[in-house]
Structure 1
């Protein structure tokens, strides 16, 4: 029998997820401040869930926990979905959000399957295999966001764009975090790209590695182009949030390009002044659209 969860416990779970989001996803957190309160806290809950799981698996591969530890967590999560509630300090808010927003639980199961791969898989042969991973690790997040924010037009196309945007964000992360990931024993860019340059995945800085990063950033840009029309298909109240996240994450690619695709020993971020300018410009354009 599931223990009863008080309103106070649920509120504390949402607050914990909010703090996790504020601490670890600063640009994304900044964007979510433009959402109405209900949607904003739903996004915090989804982020908290993803962060909690990611913190378990995103460790040096030599220190990765046994697969059955994650399997036990998956069982706990499935039970939370089945019961509609849980006393888990993070899962409580996420299960509540999944129920209230009408999110397909399979999207969360696909995410957990992708995280399970991180415990054993360290390389991906080609873009097709990597895309299977990014479906679960990122595209499903885009679909969950679309469900929380709401779609006002052409739902099929909007969800296609949300899928592409999730993958674009993830590929941006893979380029930015290449050095950090390789030190943990993983490479999230396809082996085929390295082979084409005559080098092995996980190598340090070289012209050939920069060519790999350049190729990946071009692919990410194409995904952003594919995703952008979907922003206008979302409910108007949610559009500024996604537009700012879109611009800030794509801005990371601009910083990588400005550094001639050097990603070793540096973690590229969008300068604070540019972040604030992006927020101001987005809010101004959104306000003008109502005039």
Structure 2
């Protein structure tokens, strides 16, 4: 039976689990194929990341800079004090403190969220900085959990984890090209004009993403067994989404958001799971 402190901690992490389930079916499917002990830590990271992202992308009638700065301050207070009455931040600090997630990773992430409030177009250096903070460091936070204190394994897999986060984020940029431009006035790809987006530009971006996927796969195959299947599911889902985008014209990409239906996500999960069990993947 749980004591009161355990109940408080578990309830906080359950809140982040609910957030993950409501916001991302693909991420939820991937988490379910991790070993059970990794579920709640990864939910805790996702809940934190999602709520920070919501501040900059959703609440257009609010003072976003003030909200994000308060979220930042509350995050560090929670980590330092080991408690927060905000269940998302309480759950996150549990994971940060247990798995020794570096402040540098958290700060880089929050800096990228702040960049969304200040930049509509990105040059090459800002683009790389944004991808590192918004996606690569999230992969590194998860890698800290997957390695469960094995520092040597963490250092060995850092590069591939960054490449995986980079690939995912760039696919998101292509998928959301229309909504980012029309709803938020953003174009993340350096030197790209939404109004003249063409096959030459699209092919160049896709070649860059393919290299990220190739380098990420090397690391996925070296992950601890408890994490490998879940990460492979996420990898294959995004790879399938990427191939779908790659097959479409630039005009289609700029006219609608590209999705993979939930039924196909589930089929992918099942096929990958059984393939993994018999040694196909």
TM-score, normalising length from structure 1?
0.86
Following TM superposition, by how much is the alpha carbon of 1:154 offset from its aligned partner in structure 2, in angstroms? 5.1
The within-5 A match list for 1:181-220 is: 181-183=180-182, 184-191=184-191, 194=192, 201-203=193-195, 208-220=197-209
Q: Are 2:147 and 2:154, in contact at CA under 8 Å, matched by a contact in 1? A: no
1:144 equivalenced with 2:134 (yes/no): no
Q: Are 1:81 and 1:105, in contact at CA under 8 Å, matched by a contact in 2? A: no
SS of match in other structure, 1:87: coil
Following TM superposition, by how much is the alpha carbon of 1:134 offset from its aligned partner in structure 2, in angstroms? 0.6
Note the alpha carbon deviations across 1:61-116, whole angstroms, 9 max, x for none: x7573423321221111111111221212101111011122222321121011101
SS of match in other structure, 1:119: helix
Greater displacement, 96-105 / 229-238: 96-105
The within-5 A match list for 1:18-33 is: 18-33=17-32
Q: Are 2:38 and 2:145, in contact at CA under 8 Å, matched by a contact in 1? A: yes
More helix by share: 2
Following TM superposition, by how much is the alpha carbon of 1:210 offset from its aligned partner in structure 2, in angstroms? 4.2
- Aligned residue-pair number: 273
Following TM superposition, by how much is the alpha carbon of 1:226 offset from its aligned partner in structure 2, in angstroms? 1.0
After superposing on structure 2, the runs of 4+ consecutive aligned residues of structure 1 that deviate more than 6 Å are none
Q: Are 1:57 and 1:65, in contact at CA under 8 Å, matched by a contact in 2? A: no
1:260 equivalenced with 2:249 (yes/no): yes
Structure 2 residue aligned with 1:79: 77
Structure 1 residue aligned with 2:213: 224
Distance in 1 (CA, whole Å) between partners of 2:207 and 2:54 is 29
Structure 2 residue aligned with 1:197: none
Note the alpha carbon deviations across 1:159-195, whole angstroms, 9 max, x for none: 100011111100010000010000111111112xx3x
Note the alpha carbon deviations across 1:203-244, whole angstroms, 9 max, x for none: 2xx6x4343233222211110111111012211111000001
Greater displacement, 213-222 / 146-155: 146-155
Distance in 1 (CA, whole Å) between partners of 2:275 and 2:147 is 20
Structure 2 residue aligned with 1:6: 5
TM-score, normalising length from structure 2?
0.89
Which ranges in structure 1 are unaligned for 5 or more consecutive residues? 195-200
Note the alpha carbon deviations across 1:22-79, whole angstroms, 9 max, x for none: 111111111110112221111111110011110000148x757342332122111111
Greater displacement, 135-144 / 19-28: 19-28
